[in-house]
Amino acid sequence: MSSMAKDRNALIDTRAHALIDAHRDNIDEAKSSRPAPMAPAVFHELLKRGVEARRRQRQIYERADVDVMAKIYASTFLTEMTSAWHLNYYYLAWGDDKIITLAAALAYAHAQGGLQKLEWLELHTNAFGDAGLAAIMRVCALEGAMPNLKKLYLDHDQWRKSPANMCMGQPSPTRR
């Protein structure tokens, strides 16, 4: 769940390096992969399938725990998406599949009253194409979605293809 709110450099996989010094190259190499946030129902289903697979392998997990964990995830997800003013999903090498997962999560958050404070959405320097871009634009087009969005960071080619005025009416991309 921490991957919903943490910066890309804050998730470090200590297995990648026994010793990480202050040199940025080592930190970049040690970054953990970051899954896209999922709508709570999707997370719940994924969790149920994982527990069932482990039960078949004779590893014991209680099915009741799944519902408890799903409720905790749903509560945390809505808290984060309701209070967020800046969502930072850049430099993650996400393809269309992860961006579509994110878009579904954002649509769910919006339906639950979230994303009202969101001012920045950073998606640049990922590997998604037209399908991912279309999914994000569909969320932007939802009535009342992200009313305070001021900056939508996309790569230049994505910006040229996007009807970004659905979100903000900004004439040109914000570049970093």
| pLDDT tens profile 10-50 | 544 444 444 444 444 544 554 557 899 999 999 999 988 88
Distance CA 39, CA 84 (A): 16
pLDDT (tens digit per residue) in 116-136: 999 999 999 999 998 999 999
Q: What is the pLDDT of residue 112?
A: 97
Domain boundaries, the chain: 1-34, 35-166
Give 16-78 as a DSSP string: T-S---S-HHHHHHHBPP-PPP--HHHHHHHHHHHHHHHHHTT----HHHHHHHHHHHHHHHH
Residue type, 114: G
d(CA 150, CA 120): 6
Judging by DSSP bridges, how do beta strands 86-88 and 151-153 pair with one another? unpaired
Residue 173 has pLDDT above 80, yes or no: no
Dump pLDDT digits (tens) for 48-92: 888 777 766 655 566 778 889 999 999 999 999 999 999 999 999
Cα gap 79→57, rounded to integer Å: 35
